[in-house]
Amino acid sequence: MVNQKIIQVADSLHGSIQISYLEKQIISTQAFNRLHNILQNSTVYLTYPSNQTKRFVHSLGTMHLGGLIFYNSLLNADNEVRDMFLDSINDEIEKLGNDNDFNRTLRLSLGDSFVDLMQDYRNIRIIYDREPIYQLNTPKVINDKHLFSYILIYQAIRLAALLHDVGHPPFSHISENALKEIWKDVKDMPDVDLNERRTYFKNSLKKFFENNAHLHEEIGYRIAERLTESVICNGPEQRDEAQVQLFYWLVSKFVTYIFTEESSLFEDIHRIIDGSIDCDRLDYVTRDLENSGFNYGRIEYDRLIRSMRLIIMNGHFLFCPDIRTLSTVEDFFNRRWLLYKYVIYHHRVIKTDYLLEKAIVGLARSYLGNPEKENEYNGGVLP
């Protein structure tokens, strides 16, 4: 990894979105590019033809807003609160440094020559020096003791936001609901009715559905972990390169911790991506309304996000807007209500979603119940 130029992606909603070299590597993978073909709103396009938003572009917007929320929250935080938060991140890094499994992974990846890097992680500056995005998005109030931990959690939050939808199946929630209905049919079947296909289906989805989890989230966590690990190069020859790879390994672990809410700290951080006012909703509320043809203007992103502040309440870290932006917060919730009223719950959208779901269920039941060989593809496609 050499000194990087600024990498930007053009977006119709947020303008130019700056990305890091690590994010570029993730975005370039086949698994992430699959999101180009996943519709955000299933069959909404049959009612609103212009609404063909893909989860690829939504994921980029979510990542962009997630980074801004975190940056401004720490910039506006009280010094004591900011230090407590970043000290907690340092504690998590040091826990990993004492984790035998993680150290074994580092030894296999980095080699014996660089296993000491974890002991001196606070002095690793090469990540900051080589990446323009970290230089531009690190508040000047961050001291040297917290610089590495700030960049680490900043990158982990952006990557978690980027990958939050990576596990969605085609047609998103419609396919997921159909698969769940089929799962309920198959899981309680007597053994005598379980042919080879049903048994394979049951065993494949058991780990995703048996705990009442959301399929796309459980699959997404696994894909995200593999994607982040796939861009890590093993066997670095130079110490600088080894420091970068160590950073990537820590980012990978923290992304997993955020998704699984490993502790109360990571549960609090996850609220940036999955909360009442989060980067996910802030992106799709405006994007989906605009792409459906509604002209309600846009959320005051600058006013809302630049007011974000990190506070402590009842032992939890909260990333919340300033009281002076209450009118903007109310406007956001009103827009979300309009989106659900006029787009997502439009009577024709409900009908086409239902028909697609039942078509998938019918096809799946027919396939799973037929022990014969698969029919050859005849070229027919869904509209």
- Average pLDDT of the segment spanning 369-377: 68
* pLDDT on residue 374: 60
* pLDDT on residue 166: 94
Question: How many Å apart are CA 6 and CA 324, to the nearest integer?
Answer: 34
* pLDDT on residue 312: 97
Phi first, then psi: give them for residue 216, nearest 5 degrees. Answer: -65, -30
Question: How many Å apart are CA 35 and CA 171, to the nearest integer?
Answer: 11
User: Could you tell me which residue, 303 or 231, shows the higher pLDDT?
Assistant: 303
User: Could you tell me which residue, 337 or 203, shows the higher pLDDT?
Assistant: 337
How far is C-alpha 309 from the geometric centre of its chain's CA atoms?
22
pLDDT-derived band at 178, boundaries 50, 70, 90:
very high
Give the DSSP letter of residue 112: G
How far is C-alpha 188 from the geometric centre of its chain's CA atoms?
33
Nearest partner of 67 among 132, 143, 133, 149, judged by Cα: 133
* pLDDT on residue 172: 86
**Least confident interval from 84-98, 112-126, 295-309:** 112-126
Question: How many Å apart are CA 282 and CA 164, to the nearest integer?
Answer: 14
* pLDDT on residue 352: 97
* pLDDT on residue 240: 86
Indicate if the pLDDT at residue 383 is higher than 50: no
Nearest partner of 210 among 189, 178, 228, 183, judged by Cα: 183
Question: How many Å apart are CA 90 and CA 96, to the nearest integer?
Answer: 10
User: Could you tell me which residue, 307 or 191, shows the higher pLDDT?
Assistant: 307
- Average pLDDT of the segment spanning 143-165: 96
Question: How many Å apart are CA 210 and CA 269, to the nearest integer?
Answer: 27
Within 13 A of 83's CA, how many CA atoms are on the CB side?
7
**Average pLDDT across the chain, whole number:** 91
Q: Which domains does the chain have, with CATH numbers?
A: 7-367 (1.10.3210.10)
* pLDDT on residue 230: 86
Kindly report, residue by residue over 193-226, the tens digit of the pLDDT.
888 899 898 888 888 887 777 888 888 888 998 8
- Average pLDDT of the segment spanning 34-52: 95
Kindly report, residue by residue over 283-304, the tens digit of the pLDDT.
999 999 999 999 999 999 999 9
> Helix, strand, coil shares of the chain as percentages rounded to 5?
65, 5, 30
